[in-house]
Structures are given as C-alpha cells and as structure tokens.
C-alpha cells in the first residue's frame, strides 16, 4: 500500500510539473505573439506612407514640413492615413483635381492620397533632396503599384519596370530596387513653398495585376534630406 501511495504521489507531482510547464510555455507563446503583433503594427498600422524631414534642413537651413497651412510647427515626421480598402483601380478613375481637393490625407476608395508642404522659413537660398524609399514589399505587389508625385501641380507617375524590362505605359521606372524616385530641388529661396501630393494605387490595367499579389503589402516613405548619399 505504501509503495502504491508513493507512486501515486510521484505521478501527481509529475502532472503538476507538466501543467506548470504548459502554463509557462503558453505565457511565453502569448508574449511572443503580442510582441510580433506590436512590431507588425508599428510597421504597417502607421500608414502606407510617411514623410521624414532631415533635422539639418530645419536647424541649419530653416526648412519645415506640414500638412495644414494653418498649423506650421516643426515636426520630423508626417503620417498619411491608410485607406480602409485597397483593391485595384484604374488611373482613369482618379479625380482630376486630386492635388487640389484637400490637405493632409484625402484617400478615396482603393487609393491613398496625401497632400503636404515644404517651406523655406530661413534667410538663405537653399536646396534639398526628395527621396521616395521602398521599405517593404510582400508578394511582389509592387509589380502593379503606381505612385504619382505632384509637385506644385505637375506630376510624374512612377512604376516598376514590366517583366519584359520596358517601362509601363505613361510612367517613369522606379529609380532602383530601393528608391522609387530621387529629385534634387535647387534655388529654394526664403519664403518659397513646394506643395506635394502623393497618390498610391494598384493599377488594374497592369498585366502583372493578378491573383498572385492578393494579400500583398507595400510600404514606402519620403525623405527630405540635405544631401543624397548613395549606399
């Protein structure tokens, strides 16, 4: 009988240890999932587009970025709201006055639109580099992405080269695998204001717009730098 009781007691101890191990393992898994959730949230829930200002442009040259002309304060970053839906559309469906309709985020159905400004509040003629940087691409969704950049009413539409190595119709190819566009703005005089509108959509007429890119992700941001440094 004593031997049987001893065996039962050891069995209970093993079961308790196993249950304790399972609880600890479950807690660790939950913590890891939460960490992954927050990391992904930081990357993707901040929007599909952001604007970053080089501190040197503000402190040394007096440049500032803002998306509300009535609220000009120094900020190093601006964030565009992500559209609620992002299915493919045609560029023909975009409003003709999309760069004049609003400031800040003014997304439409299935496209991102964001208007902001850079202004020279300094006392000297300056210059700056604008760089649209590709942060992440999932499932090759960039094959069908279009990014239209308006500057003071004039626009250029950028797209990745087609699979045949040629430029997509009515577009300028991405600068590289890292950059969508690089532009050097010179003679930016005191009081000058450049108005930008960024429009991002998935072009339904692109032959690469297939079911293969469903569930894909595309994230870019725009830097304003005092100089461009090639990697």
- Could you say which of 9, 30, 45 is where a domain stops? 45
Position 6 scores a pLDDT of: 52
Buried b (16+ CB within 10 A) or exposed e, 107-133: bbebbbbbbbbbbbebeeebebbbbbb
Position 40 scores a pLDDT of: 36
Asked if residue 231 has pLDDT above 70, the reply is no
Position 133 scores a pLDDT of: 94
Position 137 scores a pLDDT of: 86
Position 19 scores a pLDDT of: 66
More confident residue, 70 or 213: 70
More confident residue, 84 or 157: 157
Position 13 scores a pLDDT of: 61
The reply to whether 231 falls in a domain is no
How does residue 229 score in pLDDT terms, banded at 50, 70 and 90?
confident
Position 4 scores a pLDDT of: 53
Asked if residue 186 has pLDDT above 70, the reply is yes
- Say yes or no: 155 and 194 in one domain: yes
The reply to whether 67 falls in a domain is yes
The reply to whether 211 falls in a domain is yes
Position 18 scores a pLDDT of: 65
The mean pLDDT value of the chain amounts to 84
- Say yes or no: 128 and 202 in one domain: yes
CB-neighbour burial class of residue 206 (10 A; exposed 0-12, middle 13-18, buried 19+): buried
The reply to whether 218 falls in a domain is yes
Position 69 scores a pLDDT of: 95
Q: What percent of the chain stands above pLDDT 70?
A: 82
Asked if residue 194 has pLDDT above 50, the reply is yes
Position 128 scores a pLDDT of: 97
What's the domain count of the chain? 2
The reply to whether 64 falls in a domain is yes
Q: 175 is in which domain, residue-wise? A: 47-225
How does residue 27 score in pLDDT terms, banded at 50, 70 and 90?
confident
- Say yes or no: 135 and 153 in one domain: yes
The reply to whether 230 falls in a domain is no
Reported as a single tens digit per residue, the pLDDT across 43-95 is 344 456 899 999 999 999 999 999 999 999 888 899 998 887 778 888 899 99
């Amino acid at each position: 009988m004593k031997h049987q009781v001893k065996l039962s007691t050891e069995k209970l101890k093993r079961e308790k240890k196993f249950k304790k191990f399972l609880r600890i393992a479950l807690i660790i898994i939950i913590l890891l999932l939460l960490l992954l959730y927050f990391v992904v949230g930081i990357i993707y829930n901040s929007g599909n587009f952001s604007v970053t200002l080089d501190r040197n442009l503000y402190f040394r040259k007096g440049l500032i970025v803002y998306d509300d002309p009535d609220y000009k304060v120094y900020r190093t970053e601006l964030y565009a709201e992500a559209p609620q839906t992002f299915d493919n559309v045609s560029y023909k469906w975009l409003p003709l006055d999309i760069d004049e309709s609003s400031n800040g985020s003014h997304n439409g159905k299935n496209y991102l639109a964001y208007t902001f400004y850079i202004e020279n509040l300094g006392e000297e003629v300056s210059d700056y580099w604008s760089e649209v940087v590709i942060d992440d691409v999932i499932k090759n969704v960039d094959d069908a992405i279009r990014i239209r950049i308006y500057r003071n009413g004039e626009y250029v539409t950028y797209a990745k080269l087609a699979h045949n190595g040629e430029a997509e119709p009515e577009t300028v190819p991405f600068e590289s695998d890292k950059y969508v566009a690089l532009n050097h703005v010179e003679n930016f005089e005191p009081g000058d204001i450049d108005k930008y509108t960024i429009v991002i959509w998935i072009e339904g007429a692109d032959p690469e717009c297939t079911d293969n890119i469903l569930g894909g992700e595309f994230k870019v941001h725009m830097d304003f730098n005092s100089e461009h440094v090639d990697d």
